[in-house]
Amino acid sequence: MAKTIGVILSERILCGIVLDHRLQGTPLAYPADTDDEGALVELHTDLLVETICEQVCKVADGSPDISAIGVALPGLIRNGVVEESPNLPQLKGARIAELLQIQLRNHGMHVPVTVLNDADGVAAGLAAAHGKLDSIIRVWTLGIGIGYGRYPFAPGVWEGGHSVVTLDDKERFCGCGGRGHMEGIMGHRAMRLRFLDMEPEEVFEAANTMLPNGQPSDLRCLEFKRLWHKALAAATATCIHQEGAGKFFLTGFNARFVDLAMLRDYVQQMVKMSPLQSYSLEIVKDEPPARLVGAAITAERAAGLQ
């Protein structure tokens, strides 16, 4: 049984020991105070790398049998390089895997480091939690942006949140500046830009509220709810047509807005080939332990320990 360390890099750094695909104990968090969430954006690259390594060393606590370390962070990650990271812009262009390994050696830890997209970490963690490590698992993470994760890892860009789901010239709310992107409709930031007078929670509450006469209380919100679900259905249907049917998990803090009946109806309208209709959609809670386990599992596979 490989003993590995999983690390999540988002609003905070979370770090924990993973043994036999199970998190051991309570993850270490930095900053410890949740009021300081977002502080990582203020750290320059070298200081951020050093901070990550300090947390890893605290969790390892001198253990000599750590086999691998997996670090999950938001952005486009390829070959250990952060090619794009809107949430942590100071990391753009950083050879993050190499920097972490060098710094860890300075701390006496000679352990291989694998860096991955955080949504891929979620997919691996969910595969372990649901006993699907021998299957293809895909996950949409619905939050500030939209992430797309896949297990097992396969080379590629996999920026599924930027799938083009409409050709409407007005759909330019995606943070990357692209037109018609799924994230430009479904992302929390994009929804706030679209509805300057309402929060996303208020939009969906209004969409689900009916007047005594059976008419929607706010037709604009209801139409947006339909558009939101059509965007998710379109991106999911595209994945099905490219890679086949299978399990899709929906997670993240905005998975609360998903109406599964509406989503399934839209996907069914888009996927008509009978061999591709054995897909399934499931909403799951976004829990840090699953992400940590997923990062560690990916590091195990990369190090040839599975």
The domain 124-283 having CATH identifier 3.40.50.740: the answer here is no
Q: If you average pLDDT over residues 164-178, what whole number do you get?
A: 94
Per-residue pLDDT, 287: 86
- Rounded Cα distance between 232 and 220, Å, is 19
- Rounded Cα distance between 4 and 52, Å, is 15
Q: Which of 119, 131, 168 is nearest to 298 (CA)?
A: 119
Per-residue pLDDT, 213: 87
Cβ–Cβ contacts within 10 Å for residue 92, how many?
Answer: 15
Per-residue pLDDT, 36: 66
The crossing angle, in degrees rounded to 10, of helices 118-129 and 288-302 is 100
Instruction: Please tell me what DSSP assigns to residue 216.
Output: B
- Domain spans, the chain: 3-117+294-302, 124-283
pTM score over 0.95? no
Per-residue pLDDT, 303: 84
Fold equal for 3-117+294-302 and 124-283 = yes
Check pLDDT > 90 for residue 72.
Answer: yes
Q: Which of 97, 42, 121, 190 is nearest to 181 (CA)?
A: 190
- Rounded Cα distance between 29 and 40, Å, is 12
Omega cis (within 30) before 289: no
Per-residue pLDDT, 67: 94
Instruction: Write down the CATH number for the domain with range 3-117+294-302.
Output: 3.30.420.40
Confidence category of residue 154, pLDDT binned at 50, 70, 90: confident
Confidence category of residue 299, pLDDT binned at 50, 70, 90: very high
Per-residue pLDDT tens over the stretch 239-275: 999 999 999 999 999 999 999 999 999 999 999 999 9
Per-residue pLDDT, 124: 93
Residues 125 and 293 sit within 8 Å (Cβ to Cβ):
yes
